[in-house]
Structure 1
Amino acid sequence: MCLFITSLNSGSNGNCYYIGNDDEAILVDAGISCRETEKRMARLGLPMSKVKAIFVSHEHSDHIRGIPVLAKKFNLPVYITPGTLLHSGSMIDLQQVHNLKEFETVTIGALNITSFPKVHDAAEPHSFIVSCRDVKVGIFTDLGIVCDQLIRHFAQCHAAFLEANYDEEMLANGGYPYHLKRRISGGKGHLSNKQALDLFLTHRPAHMTHLLLAHLSKNNNDPQLVEDLFKNYADGVHVVVASRHEETPVYYIDGTGGKPLEVLGQLDLGLISPLPYPA
């Protein structure tokens, strides 16, 4: 059984990632509005009825802003750690809250979702691996450093959403105040293009087919720069830069490791944080 993946939005203005199979799907984060989430999924031919849960990586507003309305409208369980919920300032209905624990696997239909801790300036930040049978997709954004847990999980993936937030020279020479530059690059903020590329070059598995570069900074990065940088070293991996303005196409991940890319457009699949900051 394969997985279908898309980034509905990626950046400091909102993050939302879709991972599913033919029968069910989840969202990792929902930082854009309910209306915009529905609109973008509809353009891709992805019915909201497929979505069975929302998993929350951390409490920053660009990851949770749309959750209360989306979860209420579609009666979706929200998997969130107690610390993240406490610090979120979000109005999530507590009846919809499910306690998320690190390294625990949640099973939703044929999907298995495993969370693990990451380094970021949030209460209890987590990354995720979503698997369906032998196919694995990682969601790795908002990363201060490339830690051992990230390396171990990245090396399992057939596809991954991986943060490439900033170009080191652009950040250093840009107009952000010093304290914000330190926050972004100081080990609990975000991964630079170079850090993400080093992870990719050193630890990508032979069976990886797709890499979606995510959470690019509006002011300290350039999509074309990132795309060119990674495509120079792609070696058969299909590299996509996720937009902060629109959804990506839907990508089909079947775990065969060498099968040509299949991009699915209109699929027939059964038709408020106290810590926001620019990145």
Structure 2
Amino acid sequence: MKLTCLGSGSAGNCYLLHNETECLVIEAGIPFKEVKKALDFNISKITGVVVSHEHGDHAKYLHEYIKGGIPIMAPSMERVTGALSAVSKPFSVRTFPLVHDVPCTGFLIEHSEIGRLLFATDTEYVRYRFKNLNHILIECNYSQDLLSKSYHDGLQERIKLTHMEFGTCKDFIQANKSQELKSVCLLHLSDRTSDEKIFQEEIQDLIECPVYVANRGLEYEL
């Protein structure tokens, strides 16, 4: 099974977990037509879509999936979508709350081909620890040093309360790493307040498995 990144950041977020016959779409912040292209227009293999929260860069195109009759799991948006349902097997999806300025949800996704995959973005921190994770997709939005140089105090405080800082991301990975961990992917890096090279190198020093940065077009085997 592969992970494909179609977007990660304020311009739009969308990730695909897919093999030849199955696909789970994570986030609906990219036009559905882009997902169709990435799947060679074989949309029948989409088993469902999971969406973390209502902000447009994560949920703008959710209505296109609803219109297409694709199962939706967006627990933080029940009043908005009105069309929630559990995502069908072979993917098992469990949720946990995150810390953002609107209700926001993380996902623990299991599949026989990949084991246990954690997805968490747009959150100040994750308050839980998880055992035996095989893959981690985690926000690494900004560094405190770059943030203080880039924005006024009011915006700095909002970002601190709604997105994950580099050091917090490192702490989370350190607390949840295990011998079973096979990959880490850093999500939602800010254009102005992150340093991709430093983030990737320093987190790679913490773990033995590959560390990826979720730039548009990234694809790797899980």
TM-score, normalization by structure 2: 0.90
Alignment of 1:253-268 (within 5 A): none
Are residues 1:251 and 2:221 paired?
A: yes
Alignment of 1:10-159 (within 5 A): 10-39=8-37, 41-42=38-39, 47-72=42-67, 74-81=68-75, 84-86=77-79, 94=82, 97-98=83-84, 106=86, 108-122=88-102, 124-133=103-112, 135-148=115-128, 151-152=129-130, 155-159=131-135
Question: Which AA in structure 2 matches 1:170?
Answer: L
**Pair member with larger Rg:** 1
Gaps of 5+ in 2: none
Inter-partner Cα distance in structure 1 for 2:63 and 2:171: 37
CA contact (8 A) 1:11 1:217 kept: yes
3-state SS in 2 of match to 1:98: coil
CA contact (8 A) 1:111 1:132 kept: yes
Question: Which AA in structure 2 matches 1:207?
Answer: E
Are residues 1:213 and 2:208 paired?
A: no
Inter-partner Cα distance in structure 1 for 2:26 and 2:70: 12
Inter-partner Cα distance in structure 1 for 2:206 and 2:218: 21
Inter-partner Cα distance in structure 2 for 1:142 and 1:54: 18
- In the alignment of these two chains, the number of paired residues is 221
Inter-partner Cα distance in structure 1 for 2:124 and 2:158: 9
The aligned residue for residue 256 of structure 1 is none
CA contact (8 A) 1:59 1:85 kept: no
Inter-partner Cα distance in structure 1 for 2:147 and 2:63: 33
**Displacement, 1:22?**
4.5
| RMSD of aligned residue pairs (Cα, Å) | 2.1
CA contact (8 A) 1:163 1:215 kept: yes
Are residues 1:169 and 2:145 paired?
A: yes
3-state SS in 2 of match to 1:131: strand
Inter-partner Cα distance in structure 1 for 2:60 and 2:132: 30
Check 1:177–1:47 CA distance in 2 against 1; reply closer, same or farther (3 A cut).
farther
Inter-partner Cα distance in structure 2 for 1:144 and 1:207: 26
The aligned residue for residue 241 of structure 1 is 213
Tell me the alpha carbon deviations over residues 88-130 of structure 1, each in whole angstroms, 9 at most, x when there is no partner.
5xxx5x4xx115xxxxxx45232111111111111x3110011
Inter-partner Cα distance in structure 2 for 1:112 and 1:145: 24
Percent identity between the two aligned chains: 24
